[in-house]
Structure 1
Amino acid sequence: MNIDTIKIFQSLKTPFYYYDTTLLRATLQAASQAAGQHGFHLHYAIKANANPKILDIIQSYGIGADCVSGNEVARASTCGFPADRIVYAGVGKSDEEIRIALEKEIFCFNCESLPEIEVINTIAGSLGKKAAIALRINPNVDAHTHHYITTGIEENKFGFYLYDLDRAIAACKELEHIQLIGLHFHIGSQITDLTVFRGLCLRVNEIQTRLKEHGVILPHINFGGGLGINYDCPTCGLIPDFASYFQIFEDLFEVLPGQQLHFELGRSLVGQCGSLISRVLYVKEGKHKKFVILDAGMNDLLRPALYQAFHRIENLTSVGTHEKYDIVGPICESSDCFGKDRELPATNRGDLIAIRSCGAYGEVMASQYNLRNLPGNYFSESVL
């Protein structure tokens, strides 16, 4: 961030999220170009960041939407995502949410259980519609990421198990208002070891071979998302290596005639464009530690408390000798801590602090716990 931007920050009420829209656009361009070279279809995972301005920019690149609630489907539609590029996933879709998606005539439901498919069939019938669905398959591939965001191993709540696949396909054929058009996979989030995706390709090849032997070829294969970002050194990887990511699927996945491949990226598209800007309230001296107490708390950025997630923390307004601090918030919870033993320039009351790589799962997860105000948001286009 340049000096002029920091000067403007000093006049704004903290805490707030700041989004670098130039970086966002560069990231979207890189992802779209890398996917387009192979004819792949992109859907943005709205759960990562549902800010309307962010969504407006994303849809302008021709990217579709991946939704996990009825409200996300409605938001995607309002923000200009075409219905034929909206997919809707989630293990617990309510009747009302299903109805909203059917009325919007979205491209596809990613379904995770037979009871869910039966309910969609019933509601679609009542509306005189036919619902296009994909079966989310749990491929039992370990994403080697945090256990809270690993979703592809056998023992979790997501998707059909492999041994249920034949029964699920047979059931779909019997339901009058269901059209099975594809398979869906999502093995986890914040995956930085690309060899994991190689394993996913090989497993899906095995699944397709088995289905083909039974005369089943589905036109759409959705590999979900999961591509991670560099939280440790944002400036070392502002734009993820989309080319290498998509090349894995191009090289290893055996596409059957007429099939289209879909991907649902979230964090990798928006993660690095956002920072949480906060102001130092106090510097407290403990017996063995110094604490920097911010006006931002875990209600503004939940990831460190929820996942023990690492975010780079920078002092924007101080220079000089570095000292170690615990960076904490004002919430009445011991878990309200953004980082321990972090080195910062000598820090004082009133300094501005930037918590980096907050474009994904930052603002969208904010709450009013302790009856605090929600954080504001500013964009580089409007600040400068």
Structure 2
Amino acid sequence: MFSSKDISDFAELETPFYYYDLNLLQQTLLACADAAKVYNFHVHYAMKANFNPKVLDAIKLAGLGADCVSGGEVSKALEVGFDKRKVVFAGVGKSDKEIVAALNSDIFCFNVESIQELEVINGLAEIHGRRARVAIRINPNVDAHTHHNITTGLDENKFGINSWDLPACAEMLRQSAQLDFVGIHFHIGSQITNLDVYKNLCVRVNEFASWFEERGFLVKVLNVGGGLGIDYHNPDNQIPDFEAYFKIFRDFLEVRPNQEVHFELGRALVGQCASLVSRVLYVKNGKKKNFVILDAGMTELMRPALYQAYHQIENLSRREHVQLANLIKYDIVGPICESTDCFGKEVELPETFRGDFVTLRSAGAYGEVMASNYNLRNEMRSVYTVNELAD
């Protein structure tokens, strides 16, 4: 991903910053679009993963829709030019203000996560003279076999309507004059690498689709969510196997004629296209631990502190020494006044010095968007793309 010219260009830039490989992003989007087209599947981009302007432009140009989980994301999607007929609004806590704005924008649909939310959307639609298309998000109680903190499809999670509440949900839909039921929605978690999990999801989707049909509802849309993971341990030009992913749903979903299958992919599209680039401030060598202290911290990349996420860490300034030198184990930490401000423990790197450039790979998803100015740190610096650095 990084050339010698890139590294020489970095010397003139203030660190830390996110470095985007727009070529890899475009290749990933093309691979996804081509694989989905085979089965006429519809893909919405999960905007929470990354809403960098250049990233959104590339995704919009690729023809994808937008999966939003806040009113701000809905507004941003429409502002940058996503087709409103491809914008969906999910989330367990939609405010009245957010709902009204989405109603007035006439987005494709709301993914509704509680019976009370159905009642609220119907009431607001009536007040404002609108109709609302809704899909019911169901909690299928399917284990995604991923980190506990990023599961979303178990009975213990806050997301979706539980199966035992569906009769009341169906009755609310019948009573709600301003609502148009379009389908059912699922999302079981994030960073899923075992595709067999999706077979289990398909079984549940088929059961719930039949349940609604047996009660007289026309299920136009099967929205199976996303969650497809990336390989954080092998970040070089790793494009997920979209063909295998979509084929699972082609083989195991019972799709009726004129029924659409929708997906909400985020990390799989953008995860590998960016790295966080930082400088070494200090090296502290001790008897039990060696520390490399970076000028980037949990304020720039929260994932390791939040749920012990792994990112491959490389010393760009010493790449030519990796095969020649004896590797030293370092704890790679940031400058934040928190003990959890740690990117990796016992990371093997060539001997590292103050001023070296260090990169944390696979940071395109849930990296820049989660940055903060905790400790009154400066806001995240300008984002530099491959094309801009080459100019």
Distance 1:99 1:74 in 2: 12
Shift of 1:73: 0.5
Residue matched to 2:177: 176
Q: Which residue of structure 2 lines up, in the alignment, with residue 383 of structure 1? A: 389
Deviation at 1:354, TM superposition (A): 0.6
Q: Report the counterpart of residue 134 of structure 1 in structure 2.
A: 135
Contact 2:113 2:161 in 1 (8 A): yes
How many angstroms apart in 2 are the aligned matches of 1:79 and 1:188? 27
Q: How many Å apart are 1:47 and its aligned residue?
A: 0.2
| Secondary structure of 1:132 counterpart | strand
Kindly provide the CA deviation profile for residues 313-332 of structure 1, in whole angstroms up to 9, marking residues without a partner as x. Answer: 00000123311100000000
Matched, 1:52 2:53: yes
Give the 5 Å matches for 1:16-55.
16-55=17-56
| Distance in structure 2 (CA, Å) of the matches to 1:287 and 1:101 | 58
Measured in 1, the distance between the counterparts of 2:74 and 2:188 equals 22
Match of 2:343 in 1: 338
Q: Secondary structure at the match of 2:31?
A: helix
Contact 2:182 2:218 in 1 (8 A): no
User: What is the aligned partner in structure 2 of residue 298 from structure 1?
Assistant: 298
| Match in the other structure for 2:245 | 245
Q: What amino acid does structure 2 have at the position aligned with 1:361?
A: Y
Return the offset for 1:232.
Answer: 1.1
1:291 is paired with a residue of what secondary structure?
strand
Can you give the 5+ residue segments of structure 2 that lack an aligned partner in the other structure?
none
Residue of structure 2 equivalent to 1:220: 221
- Please show how residues 268-287 of structure 1 align to structure 2 within 5 Å: 268-287=268-287
Instruction: Answer with 4-13 or 330-339: which moved more.
Output: 4-13
Give the match for residue 315 of structure 2: 315
5+ residue gaps, structure 1: none
Check whether the contact 2:202–2:253 (CA below 8 A) recurs between aligned residues.
yes
Can you list the C-alpha shifts for 1:32-83, whole angstroms capped at 9, x where unaligned?
1101110000100000001111101100010000000000001101111010
Aligned AA (1:259): Q
Q: Which residue in the other structure is 1:324 paired with? A: 329
In 2, the alpha carbon distance for the partners of 1:208 and 1:60 equals 32
1:187, CA displacement in angstroms?
0.2
Q: Per-residue CA shift, 1:102-123, capped at 9, x if unaligned?
A: 1111000000011111111111
* Matched position secondary structure for 1:138: coil
| 2:353 aligned residue (345, 348, 355) | 348
Report the count of equivalent residues.
383
Task: Please give the TM-score of this superposition, normalised by the length of structure 1.
Answer: 0.98
The answer to whether the 8 Å contact 2:213/2:219 transfers is: no
- Distance apart, 1:286 and its partner CA: 2.3
Give the whole-Å Cα distance in 1 for the aligned partners of 2:219 and 2:168. 16
Structure 1 distance, partners of 2:213, 2:174, is 16
Q: Deviations over 1:126-168 (max 9, x none)?
A: 2211000000000000001011100001111110001111221
Deviates more, 1:309-318 or 1:117-126: 117-126
- Per-residue CA deviation, residues 227-265 of structure 1 (Å, 9 max, x unaligned), is 000011112x61000000000000110002221000000
The amino acid of 1:250's aligned partner reads R
State the AA in 2 paired with 1:287: K
Alpha-carbon shift at residue 350 of structure 1 (Å): 0.2
Question: Secondary structure at the residue paired with 1:238?
Answer: coil
Structure 1 CA distance for aligned equivalents of residues 306 and 110 of structure 2: 29
Superposition deviation, residue 211 in structure 1 = 2.7
2:152 is aligned to 151
User: Cα offset for 1:209?
Assistant: 2.5
CA distance in structure 1 between the aligned counterparts of 2:18 and 2:115, rounded to whole angstroms:
41
* TM-score normalised by length of structure 2: 0.96
- TM-align CA RMSD: 0.9
Structure 1 residue 215: deviation in Å? 2.9
Inter-partner Cα distance in structure 2 for 1:244 and 1:172: 36
Which secondary structure does the structure 1 equivalent of 2:138 belong to?
strand
* Identity value in percent: 58
Q: Does 1:74 align with 2:80?
A: no
CA distance in 1, matches of 2:292, 2:183: 51
Once residues 340 and 167 of structure 1 are traced to their aligned partners in structure 2, the CA distance between those partners, rounded to angstroms, is: 50
Tell me if structure 2 keeps the 8 A contact 1:217–1:256: no
The answer to whether the Cα contact below 8 Å between 2:184 and 2:209 also exists between their aligned partners in 1 is: no
1:209 is aligned to 2:210: yes
CA contact (8 A) 2:119 2:172 kept: no
In 1: Cα distance, 2:207 partner to 2:227 partner: 21
Report the counterpart of residue 100 of structure 1 in structure 2: 101
> Does structure 2 retain, via aligned residues, the 8 Å contact 1:225–1:265?
yes
| Alpha-carbon distance between aligned partners in 1 of 2:59 and 2:380, rounded to the nearest angstrom | 22
* 8 A Cα contact 1:45 1:265, kept in partner: yes
2:328, 2:67 → 1: CA distance? 43
Distance 1:217 1:204 in 2: 14
More divergent stretch after superposition (368-377 vs 62-71):
368-377
2:193 aligned partner: 192
Match of 1:261 in 2: 261
Match of 2:372 in 1: 367
Q: 1:29, CA displacement in angstroms?
A: 0.2
SS at 2:338's partner residue? coil
